[in-house]
Amino acid sequence: MSVGLNKNEVAGKSSVLASRSTHKIPPLPSNNAKATINYPGKLPELEVLKPVESKYRQIGKIKTVSAKQINANSIIWADNWFGLHSLLESGKKAQLVYLDPPYATGLEFESRSQEHAYNDSLNNAAYIESMRRKFILIRELLDDTGSIYVHIGHQMVAELKIVLDEVFGASNFRNLITRRKCSSKNFTKNQYSNLVDYLLFYSKTERYIWNQPTMAPDPTWVAKEYNKVDERGQYKLVPIHAPGVRRGETGNEWRGMMPPPGKHWQYIPSKLDEYDKRGEIHWSKNGNPRRKVYLSSDKALPLTDYWDQYRDAHHQSILITGYPTEKNFEMMKMIVAASSNPGDLVVDPFSGSGSTVHAAQLLGRKWIGIDQSYVAAKTSVTRMIEGRKPMGDYIGKNESGGLSSKAKTKHEVMNAKFSVYVDSEVSKLFPNEVSELESLLA
């Protein structure tokens, strides 16, 4: 494993590189030049942020309301271009925005009950610009302590990374997270099976909310990592030196020996004496000291940028809504807990099945979910009232056309208190759907 050194730690001459020759190479941009994606129709930021007025019908109420009257803990059925503008107009600030947008697959998606949910038809520049505009609005919506997670497939992850660098600043990039989304795929004839998707994690500033998520170590890992045992328990041996030359105490002699060339002691000599006195320094036969690190009973490991424990629904007992592209609920709770605190506002502008707002509700956060799909709005409303049901047999139907009894055996009961808003223009176009939402809330 390579370990980088800062300028002050480099000892001796710099590397001998072929690029130091006298051959002429066309000049490169300066290190300060920022990379951007350019295409026809790229709207200036001032145009993106120009106020857009919208009115909303609150389900269960007769008159329309303005954006400033939208409450927290709400589901909004609207195009998120208007919904995000409305949240900006309301003056609200979010501490966390998670979005799972279309992936530019060119496909159509329907729920398990065969209702059309959404189409994923935008591609190339149209897709990139659509997302860029959303990112600009989200940046303005976020509090200075806020973060954004963009859940995306392989199709556009590279392009959106560049756009997010442009909108949020490359210095605010935190992680490109790889998530294993499923256990296996069958279509392996002409390419590698696609088992993963990605999350791009950015903060708005350097001062962002971060509650370090951890996981219990795997027993196999523990046995391999802490592979020694004494009367005090399991332990591992770790070096007591680190890369880099130091001129202070950690660069001086300890017990008659100097640190290895190009390295320094990790601790000052008096601290090393304390470890040795407590029996926590192991001396090899040739006199090489290493520190004993014991396994604690509450050992937990920080979550890395590879998530293989948050796979989507794969057996009949898992609780789901039946909405396409529904994400692992334990993952959503982890993200909400990591990047927000109780009482904070969590926003999902592609709310889909409502996993984000459900997690926020359970963890004591305020929340707002936006989606242009009626099936998404109906699914989220139903979820926040009735909860989810086991994956079960979604193919079987009972006599009334509902799901089979096998799929209805056990489910959550949420009974959350929340509001539902519909873009007033949308409510005029789809009165039957509005009536159905009213009946769900009755």
Is residue 200 scored above 90 in pLDDT?
yes
Measure CA 111 to chain center.
Answer: 24
What pLDDT sits at residue 374?
93
Is residue 352 scored above 60 in pLDDT?
yes
| pLDDT, tens digit, 9 for 90 and up, residues 207-226 | 999 999 998 888 898 999 99
Convert 64-88 to b/e letters by CB count within 10 Å (16 or more is b): bbebeebebbbbbbbbbbbbbbbbb
Is residue 243 scored above 60 in pLDDT?
yes
Cα-flanking dihedrals φ and ψ of residue 423, to 5°? -50, 130
Residue 360: Cβ-neighbour burial (10 angstroms; 0-12, 13-18, 19+): buried
Convert 176-213 to b/e letters by CB count within 10 Å (16 or more is b): ebbbebeeeeeeeeeeeeeebbbbbbbbbeeebbeeee
Which amino acid, one-letter code, is at 239? Answer: P
Q: Under 8 Å CB-to-CB from 63, ≥6 apart: which residues?
A: none
| pLDDT, tens digit, 9 for 90 and up, residues 43-75 | 999 999 999 999 999 998 877 899 999 999 999
- Return the percentage of the chain with pLDDT > 90, whole number: 67
With beta carbons less than 8 A apart as the criterion, state whether 308 and 334 touch: no
With beta carbons less than 8 A apart as the criterion, state whether 81 and 370 touch: no
What pLDDT sits at residue 221?
87
With beta carbons less than 8 A apart as the criterion, state whether 66 and 116 touch: no
Cα-flanking dihedrals φ and ψ of residue 308, to 5°? -110, 5
Sign of CA dihedral 152, 158, 163, 166: positive
| Count of CB atoms situated within 10 Å of the CB of 11 | 10
What pLDDT sits at residue 400?
41
Question: For residues 82 and 86, what is the distance between their CA atoms, to the nearest angstrom?
Answer: 6
| pLDDT, tens digit, 9 for 90 and up, residues 372-430 | 999 999 999 999 998 888 876 444 444 443 334 344 445 577 778 999 999 999 999 99
| Section 20-28 average pLDDT | 78
- For strands 289-294 and 301-302, give the pairing: unpaired
Question: For residues 163 and 157, what is the distance between their CA atoms, to the nearest angstrom?
Answer: 10
What pLDDT sits at residue 394?
45
Is residue 121 scored above 70 in pLDDT?
no
Convert 219-250 to b/e letters by CB count within 10 Å (16 or more is b): eeebeebbeeeeeeebbbbeebbeebbeeeeb
CATH 3.40.50.150: which residues of the chain?
A: 56-215+303-441
Q: What is the mean pLDDT of the chain?
A: 87
> Which of 421, 343, 377 lies closest to 94, judged by CA?
343
| pLDDT, tens digit, 9 for 90 and up, residues 134-167 | 999 999 999 999 999 999 999 999 999 999 999 9
With beta carbons less than 8 A apart as the criterion, state whether 390 and 317 touch: yes
Q: Does domain 56-215+303-441 have CATH number 3.40.30.10?
A: no
> Which of 276, 292, 279 lies closest to 237, judged by CA?
292
Question: For residues 390 and 316, what is the distance between their CA atoms, to the nearest angstrom?
Answer: 6
pLDDT band at residue 106 under the 50/70/90 scheme:
low
Question: For residues 419 and 71, what is the distance between their CA atoms, to the nearest angstrom?
Answer: 7
What pLDDT sits at residue 405?
38
What pLDDT sits at residue 407?
41
